[in-house]
Amino acid sequence: MFLARRRLLAATTAAFAVLVGLQAAAPAPPPTRQVPAAAHDLAAGAVVGRGDLTLTSLPPDSVPAGIVPSADDVVGRTTAGPVRAGEPITDVRLVGGTLLDGYPGRVAAPVRIGDPGAVMLLRPGDRVDVIAADPQGRTEAVVVAADAPVVSLPRADDTALASGGLVVLAVTSETAKALAAASVSAYLSVVVTH
Identity of residue 5: R
Angle at 85 between CA 80 and CA 90, to 5 degrees: 45
Q: How many angstroms separate the CA atoms of 56 and 39, rounded?
A: 10
Q: How far apart are CA 114 and CA 185, in angstroms?
A: 12
**What percentage of the chain has pLDDT greater than the value 70?**
81
- Please determine, for residue 2, whether its predicted confidence score (pLDDT) is greater than 70: no
Number of other residues whose CB lies within 10 A of the CB of residue 162: 9
Please give the CATH number for the structural domain made up of 33-93: 3.90.1210.10
The model carries a pTM of 0.53
80-100: pLDDT as tens digits: 888 999 999 998 888 766 677
Give dist(CA 96, CA 87) in Å, integer. Answer: 18
Structural domain spans, the chain: 33-93, 107-192
pLDDT digits (tens, 9 = 90+) for 120-177: 889 888 899 999 898 877 888 899 999 999 988 887 655 455 578 899 999 999 999 9
DSSP state of 167: E
